[in-house]
Chains A and B, each alone.
Chain A
Amino acid sequence: MTTPAPAETLDLAARFPGAVSADTRPGYTGWIVTPEKLLEFAQFVRDELGYDYLVNLCAVDYLPENRMEVVYNVFKTTGGPGLTFKTWAPRTDPIEIPSVISIWPGADFQEREAWDLYGVKFIGHPDLRRILMWEGFEGHPMRKDWQEAFYDEDVKPFKRRWPDGKHVYAEKRAVYGDNINFKPGFDPEKWTPTDPEEALYKSLKKYKSETTDGIETDHIIVNMGPQHPSTHGVFRAVVVLDGETVVSLKPVMGYLHRNHEKIGERNTWLQNMPYTDRLDYFNSMTNNWGYALAVEKLMGIPVAERAEYIRVIMAELSRIQNHLILIGMLLNDLGAYFTPALYAFEERELILDVFEAVSGSRMMCNYFRFGGVVRDIDEDSLRKIKDLVFDRLPRKIEEFDRLLTENEIIVSRLKGVAPLTAEEAIAYSMAGPMLRASGVPYDIRRADPYGIYDRFDFDVAVRYNGDMYDRYLIRVDEMHQSIRILQQAVKSIPEGPIASQKPSYTTKVPPGESYGRVEGPKGELGFYLVSTGKPNPWRYHVRTPSFVNLTALEKMCIGTKIADFVAILGAVDIVLGELDR
């Protein structure tokens, strides 16, 4: 492997004179590209420099500078640090930026999100519709000058709470007496409803009836969800079927869009911690870590040694229970109703007992603090963890293996179904087990190590067929590797303090940007943060694996049977809290 010169030393500004300049704002890194040269630059970065993996794309609204920036974080699938570049346009509508979808197809949903929430028009995007809000919603809510109906103040803490905090319901203050807002003079009776779904159905492939064997056949459109037992929450997919075969498919999301980022930009740095619990609510420990990592990067503070071990232990336990539930639910989707799922929930309960004892809550752990964790693991919990990782879990994972792996029905339902090649997986920015099942051994714990993962001996699980069966097997492999890490971690955990900072509800964060990424059980979880030195983040963006991994859903499903779609979705492992945020 020839390693090209690291991007930091490359003078890209000289390569693109007049179009590219280094980002010299204090605390920022990377390059600023003019929109005109963006595509050429992106092509160069991908093909010449080898940054083939677009991980994060998000917009930032610099209201005082009248600038709308779009940020790209790209990495190499061979590992190593990434490259950040930005482009920008003035904040007056229409804000137009070329779409990079032709270079990194994985930009699809992320660009749609930036359009929806910021109103950035991506020229060349084939299907630029709103993605989280509905078509017809007024305004682009993430813009800094857009205010919600229950608006109180720009940033927390709100002055209305203390010292003269007589309780009033937010409804009492809102103009319309509820969490709704309309333009002055709006008349709901005269308003003609535009069908919010129209654009969606238009975007599906036009179907035509055909005649086979003298029988006229027609494609049908099926709406699965938002209330459907097999969509793992309030996810919806519109499927065009030819008989039982999927011809075309569009995921529709936003049914759990809870405005995580808008609220996150009002919150103080610390207040975001418990909110991250509610992203991927199966793995609050990992979410906490991702956020803590990004903030620690900005602050430039170390993490206490013992806390590093505790973090690894919690994250890996979390991974195991996530994969167990995934396998259980996948079997549900395949029709093996509930036996494997019930077995999985049993083991999960035991892991949750540990989480509850150390953090105080089963699911919403809120356990990490900047520089460490909130409290130490007590002896009793450590003993419980040892019992689990040396005895119970290996036994039970093996039992799952016996129960399922060779089962002929499972094999025939999964083998060869919905394959994704390595090139496709990279192009669609797939992350985590989905990427590794396609033969790309990319694991952030190894490729771009964080915490103390470089001290542990473990293998990056990888499978090469990229089909459903490999997606199942890779989860089993990963659980084995997690057990390996856990066994080393609980043996070598040192004594000592659990935080490098004094506990405080205020946090001083110097200005700048940072992108913190962890290998979550579902894939790469990234936090892009911009600080202006104030007690609240200026930009708080979450790159979630569930959201980006769905970009390839259509590709995987076309040509399969509708019953397989349910399983394919199950194997992507989405969780609505982080899909819709």
Chain B
Amino acid sequence: MKDEDLRDLNLPNYEIPPELTGQLAITTLDRIYNFGRRSSLWPMMFGLACCAIEMICAQAGRYDMARFGMEVMRPSPRQSDVMIVAGTVTKKMVPAIIRLYNQMPEPKYVVAMGACASGGGPFKEGYNVVAGIDKFLPVDVYIPGCPPTPQALIHGMILLQQKIDRQSIKHVRWYDGKKEDAVAVPVPYLGPDLIDPRRIPEIKAKAAELAAQEQQIAPQQA
């Protein structure tokens, strides 16, 4: 472990005697836990569209995310900590994305990279586009940009690290146990259009209402 890392880990109010710096840190369980997570965030090897290319660039030689312990891109969700949603989320793809997310072990994080993943992006009006992955997944960091440059992505990842630093084991959503979709999100499916299981009653009510309206209009026309 490097000296700076130990210094980071130490709580601010505790002085370490000079002869022991670099060897000892007084800390809390939370800090160790957070330190462990934030220092080796393994992203999932998972690209959707143009933004994914910038994500690869951030992994390649020039920007080298390995400097942050993020070099190991895992093709399998079971081995990854953070899902960088890099690109346009389409209706056809979203069931697969949710399934991947559900398969990730917690602690797990979601980064919405680019305009598309954050809120639909330039293709928002399209009939096959989901307007932002936060409709389904809890997003931790939003990175606007189309595409965000590799440096912007790294900035977003640093923000994620800062967020992790502030978390406490007691309050993270996956150990809470109260929130229903804290760990797994119901997988949407493809019908005549995309159906989110959580919204079925709402859809049903609205469709019935529309049908009633139509009934009212029809006799008038006849």
Size bin of chain A's contact surface: 35 or more
Instruction: Enumerate A138-166 residues with CB–CB distance to B below 8 Å.
Output: 138, 141, 148-152
> When chains A and B are docked, how far (Å) is the Cα of A150 from the Cα of B135?
15
**Is there a chain A Cβ closer than 8 Å to B192's Cβ?**
yes
CA gap between A179 and B196 in the complex, in Å:
12
Q: Which of A235-281 contact B (CB under 8 A)?
A: 254-260, 262-263, 266, 274-275, 278, 281
Number of interface residues of B (CB under 8 A): 59
B12 within 8 Å of A (CB atoms):
no
Cβ < 8 Å to A, chain B residues 39-77: 45-50, 52-54, 56-57, 60-62, 75
Residues of chain B from 97 to 126 with CB closer than 8 A to chain A in the complex: 97, 100, 120, 122-126
CB distance from B103 to the nearest CB of A (A): 10
- Any A CB within 8 A of the CB of B87: yes
Q: Among A228, A229, A255, A341, point to the contact of B92 (Cβ < 8 A).
A: A255
Any B CB within 8 A of the CB of A176: yes
Contact present for B192 and A170 (CB under 8 Å): no
B220 within 8 A of A: no
- How many CB-defined contacts (below 8 Å) exist between A and B? 178
* A458 within 8 Å of B (CB atoms): no
**Stretch of B13-21, B23-31, B159-167, B202-210 at the chain-chain interface:** B202-210
**Which residues of chain B come closer than 8 Å to A183, judged between CB atoms?**
192, 207
B65 CB, nearest partner CB in chain A, Å = 13
CA gap between A35 and B167 in the complex, in Å: 67
A257 to B213, CA, bound (A): 33
Interface code A339-382, partner B: CB below 8 Å = 1, 0 otherwise?
A: 00110011011000000000000111000000000000000000
Cβ of B149 < 8 Å from any Cβ of A? yes
A233-B48, A258-B123, A349-B57 known; A188 vs B190 contact (CB < 8 Å): no
- Which residues of chain A from 91 to 148 have any CB-CB distance to chain B below 8 Å in the complex? 132-134, 136-138, 141, 148
Contact bitstring A168-183, B, C-beta under 8 A = 1, else 0:
0011000111111111
Q: How long is the Cα–Cα vector from A233 to B87 in the complex, in angstroms?
A: 10
A228 near B75: Cβ-Cβ < 8 Å: yes
Query: Cα distance A348–B91 when bound, in Å?
Result: 32
Does A138 contact B193, Cβ atoms closer than 8 Å?
yes
A296 to B90, CA, bound (A): 33
Set of chain A residues within 8 Å of B208, measured between Cβ atoms: 185, 187
Contact of A263 among B52, B126, B146 (CB under 8 A): B126
Residue B6 at the chain A interface, CB threshold 8 Å: no
Evaluate contact between A185 and B100: CB separation under 8 angstroms: no
User: A234 contacts which chain B residues (CB < 8 A)?
Assistant: 47-48, 93, 96
A403 to chain B, nearest CB (A): 15
- A255 pairs with B90, CB closer than 8 A: yes
Is there an interface contact between A170 and B124, defined as CB atoms closer than 8 Å? yes
Across chains A and B, which 9 residue pairs bring their CB atoms closest together, nearest first? Answer: A259-B126, A185-B211, A184-B210, A281-B50, A345-B60, A138-B192, A229-B75, A184-B211, A148-B127
